[in-house]
Amino acid sequence: MSRTAKRNAGAQTRAGRSPLRPWLGIGLLAALVATAAPGRAETPGEPDYARTGFHLGLGGAYAFENFDYDIGSLDVETAFPPGSSGIDPGLDDSAGIDVRIGYRLHERYDLALLYEWLEGFDSTRTSPPLELDTHLLTLDSRFFCLTGRTQPYALVGLGILIVNTEIVASSFAKPFDVNVGFAARFGAGVDFYLTRGWLFGLEGSYVVPTGPVEKADYGTLGFKFEHRF
């Protein structure tokens, strides 16, 4: 089957899917950020929550898949019966963890290196079973609206996305296929300082990949704990 035919067949199988679904959770977070924004930037005499310095964090995330994959575009058609190339594998949502380390350069500007691992975007329609794992590494810039105990922010990041495609069957090697491409990350969040050195945060983002992984769009909604040094 030609590449154009594969693409057309895949589009037909996915015609009923909504591209807006991954944005629902991010929209809820944006509303939370908007309600936090009217608060006072800083109370006289309180700790300097917007000071410069390093920070280290650990978090978890739920991922909403918005993939545009079919069996053919995943390059795993040899594991399936002939004629399976245009089938939508029906990959479900996933969850994972992230680690970040960064530096607050200015009271309203921050740079951070993020590593995010999402395990098991599992298929629901294929035999043998299929799953995708992703590894994201980005350098994120955050821009803070406020500098007090509650700090809403917007973010943009650039980096790389690795997508591992695995056939969950003993007769196939794992991972079956690995693809790497550049990716951009956009989002918003809010940090709540528990103490001068510790904070709890909520964050939503959307990942737009390119190149060999351009079909692997997804959104995340997550939480984090960070320590400010």
Output b/e per residue, 191-216; b: 16+ Cβ within 10 A.
bebeeeeebebbbbbbbebeebbbbb
Phi first, then psi: what are they for 109, rounded to 5°? -145, 140
Residue 79 lies in a domain: yes
Q: Are 210 and 181 in contact (CB under 8 A)?
A: yes
Residue 47 lies in a domain: no
Quote the pLDDT of residue 20. 59
CA distances for 188 relative to 10, 25, 140, 153, 219, angstroms: 32, 11, 11, 6, 12
Mean pLDDT (the chain, rounded): 83
In DSSP terms, which residues pair with 206 in a beta bridge?
Answer: 186, 219
Quote the pLDDT of residue 46. 77
- Based on the structure, what is the number of domains in the chain? 1
Q: Domain residues for 20?
A: 3-41+53-228
For the domain that residue 122 is a member of, what is the CATH number? 2.40.160.20
Question: Which pLDDT band, with edges at 50, 70 and 90, does 44 fall under?
Answer: low
Question: Which pLDDT band, with edges at 50, 70 and 90, does 170 fall under?
Answer: low
Q: Residue 144: is its pLDDT beyond 90?
A: yes
User: Which candidate, 146, 144, 148, 145, places its Cα nearest to that of 42?
Assistant: 148
Residue 74 lies in a domain: yes
User: Which candidate, 100, 102, 77, 76, places its Cα nearest to that of 179?
Assistant: 76
Residue 48 lies in a domain: no
Residue 94 lies in a domain: yes
Residues 152-166 have pLDDT tens digits of 999 999 999 999 988
